[in-house]
Structure 1
Amino acid sequence: MSEKVRLTCPMGRKRAELGGGALLLPVGAAAAGLAGPWGLADAGAWRWAVVALGAAALLAGLLLLVDGIRLQVPVLEVEDGEFRYIRGRYIVRIPFADVGSYYVLPGRTRSLGLCDVTGRPRQFPSVQGRRASRPYLPLTGLTSPAKVEEFMRTAGIPPRDRSLTSGR
């Protein structure tokens, strides 16, 4: 296979954190600025409560933006006889000839399992850098199994046959 086939997983959490952070930053800045020492004369204790809440909203918005920017979106690629899974600095490269079949694990966060040509699940090192290995590659919760199946069909990788009557 010489052409490039690519699937970028949608990242709803990344969008939510970026949107929430972008909303909280101006709200917090406005609340802290309007009620601060330069605004709302003689508001008493309420003024400092509003300043504290504005500062907390400002800090929360900043933390959400930073965390949203740091989140990595998983990407599946097949190009030049190689299957690749990329998530930030974590990259899995498998020769295309060594991929026999695939399966999609259901759940809140979808995962992609790959099998070798004999049908045994492949083991992958953990994405978070832990020492444990896993038989799947994590995708995102918004990734549709139908999109993954279409990507694998386009790449030429068959689904895993789990029937008891296969081969007859």
Structure 2
Amino acid sequence: MSEIVRLTCPMGRKRAELWSGAVLALAGAGGAAAAFAGLVGLPEQDAQGALRWGAVALSAAVLVAGLALLADGLRLRVPVLEVEDGEFRYTRGRYIVRIPFADVGSYYVLRGRTRSLGLCDVTGRPRQFPSVQGRRASRPYLPLTGLTSPDKVDAFMSTAGIPPRDRSLTSGR
């Protein structure tokens, strides 16, 4: 296989954090600017001045929360599955798994809140992968995202030429 077959998993959490962080940052900056502009010309011991300083502080906190959400959204990495030149690759940020295509026998999709992809060797045993985040020694699957459709994973794997794992009791007949 000489061309690249690629599946990029959708990341709803990344989009949500980026958009909500941008909205919060803009709202915080606008609120702080408006409250600070209202402070100009007020006496320092005025009760309204204390309320306006509270509004400035609250707007600054909203601005900081929005910037934190933006930073976290930019930090999230999207999983990418690729098959190219006889090699299966899973990439998520700096974490890369490379398996020779001849060593991949079949696959299965773990359904749940966060979808995962399990690969089996040619004898049908699940492969073990090092942990994505270093929390565990190994795991038998590669994490995808919750918005990843199992049908898209099936279509990607069939395009790549990897069959689904046969787990039926009557598979030998």
Q: What is the TM-score normalised by the length of structure 2?
A: 0.93
Is structure 2 residue 148 aligned with structure 1 residue 149? no
The letter for the 1-side match of 2:35 is A
How far residue 161 of structure 1 moved from its aligned partner, in angstroms, is 0.3
Counterpart residue number, 2:26: 26
**Structure 1 partner of 2:78:** 73
Partner of 1:39: 38
**In 2, Cα distance between the equivalents of 1:69 and 1:157?**
33
The answer on 1:109 being equivalent to 2:108 is no
- In structure 2, stretches of 5+ residues that fail to align are none
Q: For the residues of structure 2 that align with 1:47 and 1:107, how far apart are their CA atoms?
A: 48
Tell me the CA shift for residue 44 of structure 1: 3.0
Whole-angstrom CA distance in 2 between matches of 1:19 and 1:8: 20
What letter corresponds to residue 138 of structure 1 in structure 2? P
Q: Which moved more, 1:42-51 or 1:56-65?
A: 42-51
Which structure: larger Rg?
2
- Aligned AA (1:5): V
Percent identity over paired residues: 81
RMSD, matched Cα: 1.1
Q: 1:35 and 1:79 mapped to 2: Cα distance?
A: 56
1:130, 1:24 → 2: CA distance? Answer: 32
- Find the aligned partners of 2:76 and 2:50 in 1 and give their Cα distance: 39
For these two proteins, the number of residue pairs brought into alignment is: 167
Task: Give the CA deviation at 1:32.
Answer: 1.0
SS in 2 for 1:39: helix
1:167 Cα deviation after fit: 1.5
| C-alpha displacement of 1:131 | 4.0
The match for 1:164 is 169
* CA drift at 1:45: 2.5
1:88 to 68, 72, 93: 93
Cα displacement (A) at 1:39: 1.9
Counterpart of 1:132 (choices 131, 137, 150) is: 137
| Residues in 1 aligned to 2:118 and 2:14: alpha-carbon distance in whole angstroms | 24
User: Taking structure 1 as the reference length, what is the TM-score of the superposition?
Assistant: 0.96
Is 1:12–2:12 an aligned residue pair? yes
- Residue in 2 aligned with 1:3? 3
